[in-house]
Every structure is written in C-alpha cells, then in structure tokens.
Chain A
Amino acid sequence: MSLSLALRLALRDWRAGELRLLLAALLLAVGAVTAVSLFVDRLQRALVAESAALLGADRVIDASRPVPQRFRDLAADRGLVLADVIRFPSMASSEATGRSQLASVKAVTPGYPLRGTLRVAGEPFTRGRRTDGLPAPGEVWLDSRLFPALDVKVGDTVSVGYADFTVTAVLASEPDRGGGFMGFAPRLLMRAEDIAATRVIQPGSRIRYRLLLAGGGDALRSLHDAIRDELAPGYRWRDVRAANARIDSALERAESFLLLGGLLTVLLAGVAVALSARRYARRHYDHVAVLKTLGATPAEVQWGYTLVLLIIGVAGALAGLVLGAVAHFGIIAALRGFLPMSLPPPGAQPVWVGLLTGFICVLAFGLPPLLRLRGVSPMRVIRRDLAPATASAWTYGCAAAGGLGLLVWYSGDATLTGWALAGAAVTVSVFAGLALILLRGGRALGMQAGSVWRLALAGLHRRHRENVGQIVVFGVAVMLLLIMVLVRTALVDEWQSRIPVRAPNQFVMNVAPAEVGPVETLLKARTGYDGRMFPMIRGRITEVNGIGAAQWQRQRRQRAEETDDERDGPGGRGRPGILRERNLTFLADLPDHNVVVDGDWWAAGAAPSASLEEEYAAALGLALGDSLTFDVGGLPFTAKVTNTRRVAWDSLQPNFFIILSPGALDGQPATYMTSFHLPSERKAFLNELLSRHPTVSVIDVDQIITHLRRIITHVAQAVELVLALVLCAGLLVLIASIQSSRDQRLKELALLRALGGTRRLITGALVAEFAALGAFAGVVAVIGAEITTFTLNRFVFELPASLHPQIWLAGPLFGILMVSAVGYLGTRRLVRTPPATALREL
C-alpha cells in the first residue's frame, strides 16, 4: 500500500471521526509531557538560580588558603565569571567611642555577589533596599548589630587593624550569609584591595578564601572535571546542594514528584492511546476483510495501517508540541505572581522529550492492536464472528519494552519507575480479581433490585470480561489520582511543617546568668516569647572509658578510615571530631524536638549522666554505658552515657550534641542561649535588646528562613500543577475506555429501545451501570492507592507512612461521580438516537 493511499485512508478515517480519540490521546500525551517538561525545565532552572543566591554564585571553591591562579585561568578560559571573597575574624573598633567588637570581616572583589543581591539601609535593623554596588575602597558596610556594639552611625569612622574606614551603609542582608554558627560575629563588608592596609592577615590567621563562579552548566562541569584531582584535600567544590541541606532535600523530592507526575501522565496517556487504537482496530476488522477480498495482501494491510498510525503520530506529536507550549505559557501566566522574577528560557530537551514521547506512545501502545489487522480473515465478509488471532507475544513484549524504556528514559530514574511499575503490576492483577468478585456480588444484589438497577447490573455481568478490564482501567486512573493527592499532601505538609509560620528566626547567645531574667522578661513583653533558656558551657571530651580522646579517635579512624571533616552546614552538623570543643548544656527535662532512641532520660538526682545525639554517638563510636571525661574550664568531670537522642535539626531551636544531667556542671561558668520569632518589620527591637544587654549576641536567620519558605511555596505550586495534568490524562483514559465499549452498548440500547424500553429507563440503567463501575473502580483504587502510597512514602520520599481513612469513602464517591458523568456524557447520544437508525448502523 502506497504512502498516498495510506494518507487518503487516514484522511477518510479522520473525516469519519474514527481517529479523533486516538489523536486526542496522543495530543494529550505529547502536550502534557511537553508542558510538564518545559515548565519543570524552566522552573528547575529558576529554582537553581534562586538557590544559587544562597551561595552567591553557581559554584564556589572554598579553601583555607588562596585559590591558585591556575584554577582562575581555567575558569576564565571557559567563560566563567569570577569574584573573590575572603573572610576572617577581626576586631573592629571605634576610636571616637572607645568600643570594640569582634567582627566577621568579608572582603570582596567587584562583581560580588555573582548570584542574589545585597541589601543596604541607612538605619540599622531596617529592611533596606537592593543594591548592585559595593563599598568603595576605604569604605565599609556594617551589620546592624555592629552599630549598637560600637555605638557608631553611618558616616562615622571605624578601624580594622591598622586601617581606618568610613561607614557608608548598613549591610541589611547578603545572599551568602549562610546559616552556620561560624558566622557568629556580625559582618563587616569591605573591598579586597583594602586588606593589605589593615595588616591583619598574618601567617596562621584563620582565613577562608572563596572563589565564586558563575556561568553555564557545561562550563562549570568542564571546570570541575579539569580540577577535580587537584581539589582534594585543600579545596572544596561547593554547589547549591551543598549550600543548604534543607533546600537539597526539598528540591530532590520535588523533582521526584514532578517526574512521578510526568511519568503517570505518560502512562495514563499511553493507556488512552492503547484503548483508542484498540477501538480503531476493532472498527476496522470489517474494513480490512473487505480490503482483503479486494486483493489487499496481509503485508499491504500491515504497512498501510502502520503508515496511517505514523501519519497520526506525526500530526499528533506536532500538534501536541504546540499544545504543550501554549499550555506551559498558560501555566506561567497563571502563576506569574508566584513565580521567581523571570523564568530562564527553556532548553531544547523538553521538545525532544515531547516528540519522542509521541512516537514511542504510538509505537509501543498504538501499534500492537493495529498489527492484529494483518490477521483479519477475508472470510469475515461472510462470517462476522471471525475475529483475528491475538497479536503474538513478541508484539506485546516489544510494546511493554518500549513503554518501559519510555518511562525509564523520561524519569531518568530506574528505581522510581521500577517501584511505580511494580505497584501497577501487582495492582492490576489484584484489581482484576477484586473486580470479578465485585461484579458477582453486584449481580446477586441486582436480582433483588428495581428494574433500573437490575438492568444495569445484568448489563455489567453480561459484559463481565470487558467490565473487569474497565474497572481495572478506571481503578488505575482513580488510584493514580489518589496517589498524587496523597503524596502531594504528605510532601507539602511535611515541607511546611519544617518551617512553621512562627519559626524562631533570631538566636540569642552569651546571656549571662544574671541577665537571664531581664532578657526573658524583655522578650516576653515585646515578642510573645515562650521559649526556653538553655545553659551553655564550652567544653571538650578528654577521655573515653579512661582512654585519651586523641588515642580513641586514632583507633576509631584506623578502623573506619574516617576523616575529620568539619562541615559548617546549618546547625553546625557534619562529621564531628571528638577533640573539638563543644557547646554543652545541662537539662532536667528532654527538650522539644528531641526523642530518646536508646536508653532512658535521667530522673531527678541521678548520678552524672550524658545524653548524646545518635549520629554524633555513632560517628565517635560511643555507646550506652561509656564513661566520658570532660574538660570544662580546666576542671575535669566524668559522666556516663545513659541515652542517645534523635534531634530535629531543622526545628530551628537550639540543639545540642551533648546534654548533661543537672548537677554535673554545677559551679561552672555557664552562659545561656535561646531562640525566638521576630516579625521582619519589627527588627528595630534588636537595637533595643542589644543596647540594654550589650554583651548578648544575636544571630539573625530570618533571611534564610524567608528564602526557604519561598522555595517551598514554588515547589508546592509546581506539584499542584502536575496533579492537574495527571487529572486530565486520567479523564482521557476514562473517555477512551467508555468509547471503546460504545459500539457494543449501541447495539444493546437499540434492541432495548426497539423492545419498548423508555428513554428514562435506559438512561437510568446506563447511569446506574456506570455508577456501579465507578464505585467498584473506586474501591479497588483506594486499596491500590494505600498500598502504593505506603511504598512510595516509605522507600522513595522517605516520609512517614500511614493509612488515609479520608479517602476510603471519597475514592468510591469520586469514582461514581467521574465515571457516571463521563459515561453519561459519552453515551447520551446513543440514547437519543432513534432505534431504527441505531439498528441500521449495526
């Protein structure tokens, strides 16, 4: 069969409405995938850009010595933009007031920050405005906290080392401030070329050098590859992910979720393509039998219809691309208010994803039913009951492999795909069994029911094979929707619960015992503070079970070849070294956000005891019953480890690796710390707090929290959007499935009408039949959704798994509503067709 004949056949089929459903399914598959891919691609680029702001760059090379010129040259060769940041602690002082304060000096080169913006203000503790500038040489910008501490104002002079600087602005915020407690001291921002004049950098000074890099992903990767071997151990390559563990996990899960959504859309659209191709094939059995009597050979039939399908594939894929592009602009327009300032343009990848999806959908899902046409016997013109043999196993094998390949390729994640498919396979087989049982039960019930229901349930039973298939298809569609809703809810709740609305955004440290009362009173009066003051003493472990700590660590390392790599991530977490000085606290009660995982919390008056954070204990090889000797202010004391705790590090509360029982540190010079929430517009309160209690330190993490919350909001919106797309695909499957039984229904309805069934009775029976199908599908969907969500939450998203009684009724109800609505709309015309016309069509 020639291409032109295939084209004519396709055109005629299109005109006769035979191809509309198939084309619609393809259009949706390609459109949905393209829209999701385009949107996700651009959103991901935007999210990465936004996260990059937390780093001040796309990548950072971090070191305790200057970054070699070679790295800079290689970076410049690749067209990357560079900026330097040098950080060191130094005393800042004011000659006029005679005050001085330890500051965290940050000296930068022009161009800083490469990502994100600085904000400056004229008054301390105000929000300030964005600026693209930097302090000029000879000028500095100071953190709000330095103003009360040094008792200076904008325009005054401060000195760092041997150099004097004019304070020209308040540094309200900097993108790469970081959440680590390393940035304890208030910031002083200056130009890198002024460092020499201060003469503060001496051999042995504690200095961090950072080379900020910005540019295209390929250039960055190429640079990383080029210097990878030279990085360790002196230089660290940091990307967005390393910059903040919390964003990391949120982004990763969001990506997983978006992919899962896209995956399900492809899967559902594929089912819709398969169903409509099957219907198309069935409606062409007679057509092909006639063609064969007219002399068309099986090979001609096969190639002819493959060509027709390919023509549809090309048309569907191209139209789908346009639809996807339009849909994604629509989405962006709808979300404009929420999306980051401007989305970067998309890459070419989403277009290829869309096109390939279309073709693989056509070949894997659409072709197998059409290949059956080859086997249609020409004898069918005489005996209509002759159906073609089912397609061979390899046809379906190829289809399955194609489908699987598409899913793996699309998700780029074999594990996720594997889980989703394993869930689907188990579900489909369980569904089929369940559907049969429900249909049998339904029939028994129907015998006692009124005529509408009797007719409906008899109808269900008569076509029980097709109906098992439909229940499975509807069930899977409803199940996928339920899964998306459940997983989305779990994800968004979990994200939002990480950062409650009134999450503490200010940490107060260095509160002297005598100041605890007044500080608490002040906080309570001005901020509704209801937190807790934690005593804090610096101390280090000197012996474990009588063995010197250094030797204990050596033994551990020899065994585990661990490295003492201090990470200054949020909360100062990282692989801990036993020798390091730690903040110790002593408490009678277990603090909130802490759970004892092993051993027991101490009772009042217990012998000196220690409670360790579980990962910390595991990293140091410490266990219950070990006896630890501490050195606090030169005085040794010993405590026994009686329990280990799991700590919610992202609770934004003061958290401790080591908690001691009360009494253990009696008589030691403790200071206190706490955290509280301060609305952004009331930052001026910090000025009052610091003026009244000049020795107290305040660390402001508001900016980081705001940033995190913004990212999470965007991600949640993207997730909801994907949910809507999955819903569309699910609806299409419903329509395709109902259409596929349309011809048989038409025949039955015509007979019923001819035998005197009223339109009302028949409509009632139809709706009742679809409602029953929907209810059955809902029941199986709920069961499947519970199992799959449990698996996904447990193994993919690592969220707590639980049952969801709220869907037990909602699922079947949703099934009833959806299936009877779509079913009624799809078959309404059949009921209205006069029986004579309907009978003639048979």
Chain B
Amino acid sequence: MSGCILRARAVVKRVPTSEGDLTILDGIDLAVDTGAQVAVVGESGSGKTTLLSILAGLDLPTGGDVWLDGEEITALDEEQRARVRARSVGFVFQSFQLIDSLTALENVMLPLELHGRRQAREDALGFMERVGLSARTTHYPLQLSGGEQQRVAIARAFASGPKVLFADEPTGNLDTATGGKIADLLFELNREAGTTLMLVTHDAALARRCAEVIALDAGRMLAPREAAP
C-alpha cells in the first residue's frame, strides 16, 4: 500500500468577522500516504478541526486545493463531494453524532443503506459484534453510555469500508480508561481494514500512537521537529 491518498496545497481558511477577516488556516501543505496514521495536534483554536473538515470535504477552503482519493475535492460542488465522502470517507466525532431516533443497529445500518447495500442488516450486525455491542443492538443512543455510543459510531464509520477515516477528538468526551479502550478499538479496526487514519486530538498519548504527527499553531503547520514532544 503506497501512494498519496490525501494531499493539501497552500490551503487557507479565512472567515469574516466584525473586526475584519480572521485567518484560521494559513498556507497548509501536506500529503498523506495510503494506510498512514496521522495525528493533527495543537491547542484549542489552532485550526485542527477546520483542517480536518476541509480535508474530508465537509467544508471548503478560502484558497488552495485538496485532493482526496484521486479527486480534487476543492473543485467539486457539494453534490459531488458527497459522492466522494460516500465512497471514500468515514468519520468518528468527539460528540459521537448518533441519530437519537434510531437504534444502535440502525445507526450502523445507515451508511450501508445509503449505499444501497442489500445485506445492510447482516453487515451492520457483524460490525456491532466486532465492537462488542451485539447485546445492545436495539438500544437507542440515549440508553447507551458514552463509551458505548462511541463504539457504535466507530462501527458505523467502518461499516461503509472507507479509505480514509477522519476522527475528531474521538476520546475527548470520555474518561481516561474508556478513552483508552476506544483508542485501542479504533487502531485495531484501522489496522485490520488498512484504512488511512487522520486523527485530530490534543491528547499527547493518543497522538503518539500515530506514525506521523502534524502540529498546528495559530493556523500554521509547525516543522516536524518543532512538533516533537
């Protein structure tokens, strides 16, 4: 597995405020190889999450371009970006982002159903089992603990077989012990599936488990040596 699956060139993000434009990202260049595990670290407000949303095609930069799985997603419209996401991307969020009105199993089934997969239910059950929640398939998110909710979110993220998994502070809402287990699960599944992992965190221990670390400070990338702990 080699080759570049994700590349950003001179990515700039500015947002207008009442006191003029605020620069959130300032000239980000990066390239991520297929199968790599990359952690993006930095303090609150350094632009980590914004970078992740731009790389995943959820948001558009003010300048620069991004290539994801062979497509220049910065040149696509929302409709086309959605197709790229459907094909290539999975997400795990800090706040889990499960749909409250659906059971745990239905949450996992959702991406499979969107892909029109016939075996959605069976496949989703397999992933529920894989994250250790086969006994809780009919539970609603509000009936699950935080750790369990994040397991469901991880099952959902891997269910559609993404090429790149974006994780935004996946352990941020969990206690240390639970967070550790969730991180283990995430890395384990990632290894099995050979997925490229792009992880945003300010947890140094979690970042250390990734082969590469990108450090952000006030919207700029620090050189690798500066980022080293």
Q: Is the CB of B87 closer than 8 A to any CB of chain A?
A: yes
Cross-chain contact of A291 among B59, B93, B110 (Cβ < 8 A): B110
Q: Interface on chain A toward B: helix, strand, loop, or mixed SS?
A: helix
Q: How far is the CA of A841 from the CA of B59 in the complex (A)?
A: 27
User: Which chain A residues lie closer than 8 Å to B99 at the CB level?
Assistant: 286-287, 290
Check A382/B82 contact, CB under 8 A, given A5-B114, A293-B91, A296-B114.
no
Q: How far is the CA of A623 from the CA of B7 in the complex (A)?
A: 98
Cross-chain contact of A379 among B59, B97, B156 (Cβ < 8 A): B59
Q: Is the CB of B101 closer than 8 A to any CB of chain A?
A: yes
Given contacts A286-B97, A294-B156, A297-B79, 15 further A-B contacts (CB under 8 A): A13-B101, A290-B110, A291-B114, A293-B91, A294-B91, A294-B110, A294-B160, A295-B85, A296-B82, A297-B83, A378-B58, A379-B59, A381-B91, A382-B93, A841-B142
Query: Contact between B116 and A382 (Cβ–Cβ < 8 Å)?
Result: no
Within 8 A of B (CB), among A1-23: 1-2, 5, 8, 12-13, 15-16, 18
Query: Contact between A295 and B168 (Cβ–Cβ < 8 Å)?
Result: no
Q: How far is the CA of A71 from the CA of B21 in the complex (A)?
A: 88
Q: Report the nearest A residue to B107, measured CB to CB.
A: A290
Q: How far is the CA of A5 from the CA of B115 in the complex (A)?
A: 10
Q: How far is the CB of A285 from chain B (nearest CB, A)?
A: 11
Q: Is the CB of A502 closer than 8 A to any CB of chain B?
A: no
User: Which chain B residues lie closer than 8 Å to A15 at the CB level?
Assistant: 101
Query: Contact between B101 and A18 (Cβ–Cβ < 8 Å)?
Result: yes
Q: Is the CB of A299 closer than 8 A to any CB of chain B?
A: yes
Q: How far is the CA of A286 from the CA of B113 in the complex (A)?
A: 18
User: Which chain B residues lie closer than 8 Å to A297 at the CB level?
Assistant: 78-79, 82-83, 86
Query: Contact between A293 and B58 (Cβ–Cβ < 8 Å)?
Result: yes
Nearest first, the 9 A-B pairs at minimum CB distance are A295-B86, A16-B101, A297-B82, A294-B111, A295-B85, A378-B58, A297-B79, A381-B97, A293-B91
Q: Is the CB of A559 closer than 8 A to any CB of chain B?
A: no
Q: Is the CB of B49 closer than 8 A to any CB of chain A?
A: yes
User: Which chain B residues lie closer than 8 Å to A2 at the CB level?
Assistant: 116
Query: Contact between A295 and B101 (Cβ–Cβ < 8 Å)?
Result: no
User: Which chain A residues lie closer than 8 Å to B113 at the CB level?
Assistant: 5, 8
Query: Contact between A1 and B53 (Cβ–Cβ < 8 Å)?
Result: no
Query: Contact between B93 and A381 (Cβ–Cβ < 8 Å)?
Result: yes
Q: Report the nearest A residue to B90, measured CB to CB.
A: A294
Q: Is the CB of B102 closer than 8 A to any CB of chain A?
A: yes
Within 8 A of A (CB), among B127-157: 142, 156
| Interfacial residues, chain A to chain B (CB-CB below 8 A) | 1-2, 5, 8, 12-13, 15-16, 18, 286-287, 289-300, 377-379, 381-382, 840-841
Query: Contact between B91 and A295 (Cβ–Cβ < 8 Å)?
Result: no
Cross-chain contact of B114 among A1, A13, A377, A382 (Cβ < 8 A): A1
| Interfacial residues, chain B to chain A (CB-CB below 8 A) | 49, 53, 56, 58-59, 78-79, 82-83, 85-87, 89, 91, 93, 97-102, 106, 110-111, 113-116, 142, 156, 160, 168
Check A295/B89 contact, CB under 8 A, given A16-B101, A379-B53, A841-B142.
yes
Q: How far is the CA of A300 from the CA of B82 in the complex (A)?
A: 10
A-B contact pairs, 15 of them (CB 8 A): A1-B114, A13-B101, A289-B97, A290-B110, A291-B114, A293-B91, A294-B160, A295-B86, A295-B89, A296-B82, A296-B114, A298-B79, A377-B58, A382-B53, A382-B93
Q: How far is the CA of A1 from the CA of B113 in the complex (A)?
A: 9
Query: Contact between A292 and B82 (Cβ–Cβ < 8 Å)?
Result: yes
Q: How far is the CB of A546 from chain B (nearest CB, A)?
A: 91
Q: How far is the CB of A395 from chain B (nearest CB, A)?
A: 18
Q: How far is the CB of A444 from chain B (nearest CB, A)?
A: 30
Query: Contact between A299 and B101 (Cβ–Cβ < 8 Å)?
Result: no
User: Which chain B residues lie closer than 8 Å to A289 at the CB level?
Assistant: 97
User: Which chain A residues lie closer than 8 Å to B114 at the CB level?
Assistant: 1, 5, 291, 294-296, 300
User: Which chain B residues lie closer than 8 Å to A287 at the CB level?
Assistant: 99, 101
Q: How far is the CA of A289 from the CA of B98 in the complex (A)?
A: 11
Q: Report the nearest B residue to A375, measured CB to CB.
A: B78
Query: Contact between B106 and A12 (Cβ–Cβ < 8 Å)?
Result: yes
Q: How far is the CA of A16 from the CA of B142 in the complex (A)?
A: 12
Q: How far is the CB of A295 from chain B (nearest CB, A)?
A: 2
Q: How far is the CA of A378 from the CA of B83 in the complex (A)?
A: 13
Q: How far is the CB of B20 from chain A (nearest CB, A)?
A: 21
Q: How far is the CA of A18 from the CA of B99 in the complex (A)?
A: 13
Q: How far is the CA of A373 from the CA of B116 in the complex (A)?
A: 21
Q: How far is the CA of A129 from the CA of B99 in the complex (A)?
A: 74
Q: How far is the CA of A18 from the CA of B101 in the complex (A)?
A: 8
Q: How far is the CB of A6 from chain B (nearest CB, A)?
A: 11
Q: Report the nearest A residue to B98, measured CB to CB.
A: A290
User: Which chain B residues lie closer than 8 Å to A295 at the CB level?
Assistant: 82-83, 85-87, 89, 111, 114-115, 160
Q: Report the nearest B residue to A4, measured CB to CB.
A: B113
User: Which chain B residues lie closer than 8 Å to A8 at the CB level?
Assistant: 113
Q: How far is the CA of A5 from the CA of B93 in the complex (A)?
A: 25
Query: Contact between A840 and B93 (Cβ–Cβ < 8 Å)?
Result: no
User: Which chain A residues lie closer than 8 Å to B87 at the CB level?
Assistant: 295
Check A12/B168 contact, CB under 8 A, given A2-B116, A293-B85, A381-B58.
no
User: Which chain A residues lie closer than 8 Å to B160 at the CB level?
Assistant: 294-295
Check A12/B102 contact, CB under 8 A, given A378-B58, A840-B142.
yes
Q: How far is the CA of A382 from the CA of B100 in the complex (A)?
A: 17
Check A299/B53 contact, CB under 8 A, given A291-B114, A294-B86, A294-B160.
no
Query: Contact between B58 and A379 (Cβ–Cβ < 8 Å)?
Result: yes
Q: Report the nearest A residue to B86, measured CB to CB.
A: A295
Q: Report the nearest A residue to B116, measured CB to CB.
A: A2
Query: Contact between A296 and B93 (Cβ–Cβ < 8 Å)?
Result: no
User: Which chain A residues lie closer than 8 Å to B82 at the CB level?
Assistant: 292, 295-298, 300, 378
